[in-house]
Structure 1
Amino acid sequence: MSLSCNGGVRPFYLSCRSAAIGNRGHVERPSDALRPAAALSRRAGILRFASSLAGGISPSRKSILHRNRVRSASHPIESNRKGERTMWRARLCSVMLLAANLAFAGSAASPSIRNLSHPAPHRMASGALDAADMPTLRQAGVKEIISLRTPEETPGFDEAKVVRSAGMTYRNLPIHGAKGLTRANVERFDALLRQAGDKITLVHCASSNRVGAMIALRAAWLQHKSPAEALAEGQRWGLKSLASAVRARLNAPTTTEN
């Protein structure tokens, strides 16, 4: 799934217009009869908004862009400002297009993928996965999966093999319940997320509870958020029954644990 809108003023309009209007068939999707009406409506609305951000390239608009290019040679400061505005507009367009695809894919996936959520840009969280979920995740543009499950939880299911066979990157950081919520593991978790960068990445455990716990501790210990902010962030990612264990760690000195 390509959502890039970079490449200058004219390519920005062309690429965004193409992504929003002309390239919907680039990724295989279920037929319209299988798509939930609400998901289609949300996706269509977001795409219309993204298209309006991209704007048309009517003859009058082309002439304006041409005049702006001519002026930029004699007004470099004004040109830089316009370039900054174009850059931010391109980024907003990319975010809106990404949101459209994730909103659609999330609606289609929710019945089969437990506790699926989109808590942050380029990030998804969920509970347990199985082989049948891989096409849906690929459709949503997921490039990498980080599992916090232990080998004992998935006997007979080689998740690493299934994920890699579907063309996605697989990482595993086993978290053994509350005793796995250590500073060392949080630092390893942070390294995995930073390594993923802007790739759409899904982080999961059995229910998304451990995912939320690790996110909360990361927010407090490594991103220096208050305990209340850290807990709220963790809850957005699925923190539930491990909340008391997280609170205990946030109220205690943050010594390094192995």
Structure 2
Amino acid sequence: MSIQRFTAAHELGHYILQHEPSLDDDSMLRRMPVNAQPASDMQEVEADAFATAFMFPTWLLGWHMTRQRWTVSDLRRPSTVYQLALRLGASYEATCWTLVRNTLIDRKQARELLLTKPRQLKANLLGQYEPANYRGDVWLLTARDADTRLDGSRNDHFVLRLEEHSGGGYLWDMDQLSASGFAIVREELESGDDGIGGPVIRRVTAQPTSSYRGKMALEERRLWDPDEEPLRSLEVDFDLTGPEEEGLSRAERRDLLEAA
């Protein structure tokens, strides 16, 4: 789906820049923001440059880095770049080369990052849980993702890593996660850094079941006192209806149904 987005942005660039019509072969469907060798057709170079600036503007990279508190040195870690790629709606490889284009890493570091494959990163996040396949992505969500929007696919998994003040009786209400349309497939506690009685880290792996568009919402509260205000809450909008299936797009099917 991420390659489809870049290809669509590339074609939009042709339109916006008023290029002459051209016929692309199948290799154009595997284009990347940075190629090993420059294209001989200047129209293709310009369209690629447009697509890169359109999909990966500098301000958007900075916004995600600031929100997640990632530093430039963090971008040398494959796990960080993979999570950035998900939030940009781009492939892991395209994101690596985009970081090169923005001088956040160099080419040598990009090649080192590409030695780690996305499947390995997904497996590392899922731990002992093994999905039916690894075609979907694996999102690592924390409190820093509150009030954002996630665009993914129905095959995706979500690993929530949330600080929990269980020593004070506060627990994250996982029934609310189920009510949001997610099934919990793995759950564990990680020890916190504050010793006995301090906060712990609740790590929950979930996958969408009945709802692929909506809001993931859950609260940290004393579950025996429903009238008490929650200590903290997490709300994330999501659209997991991509990628498009074969045939008519969702928008076209919706228009046909409305016209019927």
TM-score by length of 1: 0.25
Q: Which structure is higher in strand share?
A: 2
- The structure richer in helix per residue is 1
Normalization by structure 2: what TM-score?
0.25
